[in-house]
Each structure stands twice: as C-alpha cells, then as structure tokens.
Amino acid sequence: MQPNRAVVIEGVASDWECFRRWFDRSAEPPKLDVAYLRDTLPNVPVPVADCGKQHYNSHEKLEQNLHEFLQRWEGDETTERNRYYLKDWHLRREQPDYGFYRTPALFASDWLNEYLAEKGTDDYRFVYIGPKGTWTAFHADVFGSYSWSVNIFGRKRWYLLPPGEERKLRDRLGNLPFSVTEQSFREAGARYFSIEQAPGEAIFVPTGWYHQVLNVEDAISVNHNWFNGCNVGTVWCNLRDALRDVRREIDDCREMENFDEHCQLMLKASFGMDYADFLTIVLYN
C-alpha cells in the first residue's frame, strides 16, 4: 500500500458465501440466482442509479425495493433493464448477521470502517449489482481513501489514472469530464491503465487514482473504502484543504458569531467528515 500502486489480486473470494451461492454455475452462461436472493434477503429499499441520466458529477439516484430490482433483472436484455445499477448498498450494515463475505487479509487494517461499525451509524462497505452496460462515472474515492473491489460475478472494465494524470483531462474551466474513453486519454496524453476484472479478483485502488468502471457483463461486486496508517496523512491533507475551500467560500461572513463552528458544519456536509470526526477515528485506532 505504501507505494500507492494499483494491484490486481486473484483468488480472493473462493470461500465467500456470495461467491458460492449468489449465482447459478450450472447455467450457460452462469447467471444470478434471483430465487436464492429473494429467499435469503429481505425486500428492503435499495439505492439504484439510473445510468441514463446524469446528475451533476454522478448518475441520478432513486430507491427501489430489492425484489422489484431483481424482477427487472430477470427480464429480457433491454435498454430499460440495462440502465439501472444497484450500487452503494450497505448490505453488511443492514444485515450484520449475514456473513456473505470476509474482508481479505491484505485489506484488514481499516481504521474507517472499524470505527464506524463500532459506532453503528454508517460505513463505507458496499454491494454493487449491475447489468451489462451500467457504469460508474469518472471519479476519485471519498476522502482520498483507498478502495478495494472484489468481483463475485461477471466482468468489469476499469480505467485507472495515476495521481496527477487527471489534470490533463480538465477543460478550460478546470472541470473534469463525467465520462472518459481510451481515445480521450490518448488525445490528452494522459497515462492510464485499462484492466478487465474477472470473477474472484480484487482490485486495489490507491489514494488519489481517478477511475471509471464499466460492467461489460452482468456483474456483482463487494467494495470497501477505507484508510489506515499508510494513507491517513493524505486524508488529513485533503480534509485540511477542504476546510480552506469552505473558509474561502464564506470569507465575507468571517465576523459572524461562531464562524469556525459554521465552517466545520459545512466541512462535514461537503467532505463527509469534520476535524472532530477525523480526530476521533485516529484516536480510536
């Protein structure tokens, strides 16, 4: 982790319950075992992205019941089916007694989720279930965290850029693109890696690496965002820079009462944590 390089690791999920039970290996090609998931998981609301609609720098979000999403999945391959992506689902938090995977030993030092799991309010542990053609827009991960993503079904195409290469893609106003292609990388002279991830493989995404991910087949993955002693310094620098930006934005209100407290509130709303949160997580670990 210290070199901050992207890595693909094979054979990570072979003993996971989700890898063994969530899809039907007897089918050709293998397919999601919708009946098993219906019987195993409650019909709870799940977050779904509409990959046909952009909302700022992401896709438009909606909420569906799990069984409704699975019913659409069972249908024929249509534009309607292939635009909805169940993503950022906190299944581990919502069903803590369902041991459908284990964090790989290489990624076990996780200051962020260890603290949040103990607190019991939030986490950065997700399940993604996406039909062929769904995708995640060009971005870098929250806080400047690491992320790992394990494919348990289907294949994904990753585009990853080392830190700083994304600057070559900015437009005249300094904005990054919503979507990228290999052609756009070549035209900008940006160095990039293109990786096709197979079932059972983990991808380690280092701090500050912008990336875009396409489901080239119907695909399911388990993902974590996290930080530890290797990248906590970068997370701190990003937090400090975000506070500087907040203070600059409301500098005309500097004389107001409790200005610093207001800045911390705005920092938490925009960045996802404030100074007190960061200190608490570090001291917990």
Residue 79 has pLDDT above 80, yes or no: no
Q: Can you give the pTM of this predicted structure? A: 0.94
Residue 148 has pLDDT above 90, yes or no: yes
Residue 1 and residue 209: Cα distance in Å, rounded?
13
Side chain identity, residue 34: V
**Residues recorded for the chain:** 285
Tens of pLDDT, residue by residue over 210-221, are 999 999 999 999
DSSP tag of 92:
H
User: Residue 78: its pLDDT value, please?
Assistant: 66
Residue 77 has pLDDT above 90, yes or no: no
The mean pLDDT of 14-43, rounded to a whole number, is: 91
- Which residues lie below 8 Å from residue 159, measured CB to CB, with a gap of 6+? 138, 180, 182, 185, 192, 193, 194, 211, 212, 213
Question: Which residue from 146, 151, 130 is spatially nearest to 221, judged by alpha carbons?
Answer: 151
Residue 134 has pLDDT above 70, yes or no: yes
Tens of pLDDT, residue by residue over 8-23, are 999 999 999 999 999 9
User: Residue 29: its pLDDT value, please?
Assistant: 81
Residue 81 has pLDDT above 90, yes or no: no
Residue 76 has pLDDT above 80, yes or no: no
Q: What is the CATH number of domain 7-226?
A: 2.60.120.650
Portions of the chain given CATH number 2.60.120.650:
7-226
Question: Which residue from 42, 25, 14, 46 is spatially nearest to 151, judged by alpha carbons?
Answer: 14
The angle at the Cα of 32, spanning 210 to 203, to the nearest 5 degrees, equals 25
Residue 184 and residue 192: Cα distance in Å, rounded?
11
First to last CA, the chain: 18
DSSP tag of 235:
H
User: Residue 1: its pLDDT value, please?
Assistant: 86
* Two structure tokens written together for 207: 């701090």
DSSP alpha helix (H) spans, 57-158:
66-74, 91-94, 111-119
Tens of pLDDT, residue by residue over 39-57, are 999 999 999 999 999 999 9
In the sheet that holds 156-161, the strands lie side by side as: 135-139, 210-215, 156-161, 193-197
Confidence band for 241, pLDDT divided at 50, 70 and 90? very high
